[in-house]
Amino acid sequence: MSPQLSLEEITAILLNEHQSTYSGSIPPKAFNKVLYFAAKELEDENVTADIPYFWYMYGTEVKTANTGIRTISTGSGQRIQCDTSIEDIQASHGTVRKARKALSRSLDKYYRKNLEGITDEMYEEAPYDVQRIYRELDTQIEVAADSSQATLFGDNNRKQIRRNLLEFVQAFPTADFPAYEDDLMIWYRVMRAELNDNDFDAEEVDRLATKFWRLFCLELACRENNGVSRKEIEAERDISDIEAEKEAMRADLLERERTNARQNARDSETALQAAEAFVVPFLDIEVTG
C-alpha cells in the first residue's frame, strides 16, 4: 500500500515548497487548481493523497470546510493558511520527498501557464462540454459589462453572447439532467428577452447567467466529485440545504419570466390602444361621391 498523506499535510508541504521557491503566496483560486493537478502528480509518485474535490461553477474546488485549512485576508490580498506545519507530518522522509517533487511540478505548471492556462487545461477534462461553453459565454458577458472593451466590439457584444447562449442550450446535457430542462428553457427565454431589450444591461445578463449556472452546478457538484458528500458540499459552499437553495433560484427565474410576460401584455395592450386611436377617426369619415 502506498504512503498516505492527509489534505492538511499535503497543503503544509505545498505552502512550504511554494515559500522556498516563489515569492508571495498562492491565491485561493490557484490553490484549488494546483491541488487538482497535484493529485495526479502524487499518484505518479505512488503517494496516496487525500484531496477531496468537486466540480463547481469555475472548475474544481477542494473541500476544506471543517479542516485546518482556511482562506484569510491580508493587507496584500487573500492567502491560504494551514494549521498543520511540516514538523507535524508523521510520514517518512521518503514520502515527504516524493510529495515535494509532485507538488513542485504542479506549482511549476501554474507559474508557467498562469491561472488562465491551467484552467484551460483543467477544462479539457471537464465532465461535460457545456462547462467549456459556459466559460466562453461568461467571458463574452464580461466583455459586454466592461465599457472599455464593449466599444471595441460594438452593440455591447450582444451578437456573440446570443451565439454562445444558443450553443450552450444545444449542448446542455438534458439526458443526464432531465429535471433541469424546464429551468433551462425558462432561463433561455429570460436571457433572450434581456439581450433583445433596447435598454440592454450587461450586468443584469451576468446576474441571470450566474444564477442559472449556480443552480445547475449545485447538482453537478453532488454528482461530479471524488467522494465528497452532499452535506460536505453544503458546508463548503455555506449552504444549509442544497435543494432549498435550488428551489429559491428556480422561483426567481420563474418570477422573472412572469414579470416579462406581464410587461409584454401591457405593451401589447398599449400598442393596440394606440392603433385604435389612429384608425377610429378615419372610420368616421363619410365617403361621398
User: Does residue 163 share a domain with residue 244?
Assistant: yes
pLDDT higher than 60, residue 148: no
All 3 cell numbers of residue 177? 439532467
Residue type for 202, please? A
**pTM of this prediction?**
0.87
pLDDT higher than 80, residue 2: no
pLDDT for position 272: 47
Give the helix/strand (H/E) hosting 119: helix 93-123
pLDDT in tens, 182-218: 999 999 999 999 999 888 899 999 999 999 999 999 9
Residue where a domain terminates, one of 71, 89, 123: 123
All 3 cell numbers of residue 236? 463548503
DSSP per-residue codes, 136-190: HHHHHHHHHH-HHHHHHHSGGGHHHHHHHHHHHHHHS-TTT-GGGHHHHHHHHHH
Residue type for 279, please? V
195: in domain: yes
User: Does residue 239 share a domain with residue 174?
Assistant: yes
All 3 cell numbers of residue 54? 468537486
State how far the alpha carbon of 204 is from the alpha carbons of 145, 159, 209, 259, in Å.
9, 16, 9, 15
User: Does residue 110 share a domain with residue 183?
Assistant: no
144: in domain: yes
| Best CA proximity match to 238, nearest among 220, 218, 219, 252 | 218
Q: How far apart are CA 136 and CA 254, in angstroms?
A: 25
Q: Of 143-147, 177-181, 280-284, where does mean pLDDT reach its minimum? A: 280-284
43: in domain: yes
pLDDT in tens, 49-80: 999 999 999 999 999 999 999 999 888 789 99
User: Does residue 137 share a domain with residue 30?
Assistant: no
pLDDT in tens, 126-139: 999 999 999 999 99
Number of separate domains in the chain: 2
User: Does residue 158 share a domain with residue 115?
Assistant: no
pLDDT higher than 90, residue 163: yes
User: Does residue 203 share a domain with residue 88?
Assistant: no
Long-range (24+ apart) CB contacts under 8 A made by 63-72 are 63/7, 63/228, 63/232, 63/233, 63/236, 64/7, 64/236, 65/232, 65/235, 65/236, 66/235, 67/7, 67/8, 68/8, 69/7, 69/8, 69/11, 71/28
180: in domain: yes
Residue span of the structural domain in which 233 resides: 129-277
Partnered with residue 69 across adjacent β-strands are 82
284: in domain: no
Q: How far apart are CA 239 and CA 266, in angstroms?
A: 38
282: in domain: no
pLDDT grade, residue 146 (50/70/90)? Answer: confident
User: Does residue 149 share a domain with residue 50?
Assistant: no
pLDDT, mean over the chain: 89
pLDDT higher than 80, residue 273: no
pLDDT higher than 90, residue 120: yes
Higher pLDDT, 154 or 190: 190
User: Does residue 209 share a domain with residue 192?
Assistant: yes
pLDDT grade, residue 23 (50/70/90)? Answer: confident
pLDDT in tens, 175-184: 999 999 999 9
Higher pLDDT, 287 or 173: 173
User: Does residue 157 share a domain with residue 19?
Assistant: no
